[in-house]
Homo-oligomer: A and B are copies of this chain.
Amino acid sequence: MPRTADTASFKFNHTMIRIKDPEASLKFYTEVLGMDLITKNVKSDFTLYFLAFDNGDGDQPEEVRAKTRFTREGILELTHNHGTESDPDFKGYASGNAEPGRGFGHIAISVDDIDKACERFEKLGVQFKKRPNEGTMKHIAFILDPDGYWVEIVPGSLNV
């Protein structure tokens, strides 16, 4: 239904997850999945990385694109608390899919051709939680990001 005036401007802008190692995570989200690093915000103790799939604004200067980080949907915010990447005592983050810490489930990327996408992931050495031909949900896959968060790969044409 059309929204009331109270919420007319609201957008589901971003989802934030914590990451251990920005080098590994940026490689995964930009090179494997093809997101752009829209902008980053470096603080003394932590850095925030804002990523999104290019919606045709890839040729714009970074300062223009950076302003879209709170005005569009589909942004992924990665929070890196400095030092976790080299701390031998850091135990890693919870994926949200097992106890303790069950709650968050996954993020999902929709793709045109899931078989082709998964073949490419295999070649790139991506870790799978579930391949399309495994389990009962034959039409989707789950891959793991560098922290072990689940990333669902789902065909845009899926209609179940």
Contacts and interface: CB of A to CB of B under 8 A. Distances in A.
A124 to B, nearest CB: 10
A54 interface: yes
A110 B156 contact: no
Given A74-B12, A112-B9, A3 B34 contact: yes
B12 A35 contact: yes
A110 B71 contact: yes
A159 interface: yes
A101 to B, nearest CB: 2
Given A15-B15, A16-B105, 8 more contacts: A1-B36, A2-B54, A3-B53, A9-B113, A10-B110, A70-B110, A70-B154, A100-B100
A157 interface: yes
A101 B105 CA distance: 12
Interface in A12-55: 12-18, 33-36, 41, 52-54
When all copies of this chain in the complex are counted, the total is 2
A106 interface: yes
B13 A109 contact: yes
A1 B110 contact: no
Nearest to A124: B6
Contacts of A33: 7, 10
Contacts of A67: 159
Query: Among A3, A70, A154, which residue has the most Cβ atoms of chain B within 10 A?
Result: A70
Contacts of A152: 14, 16
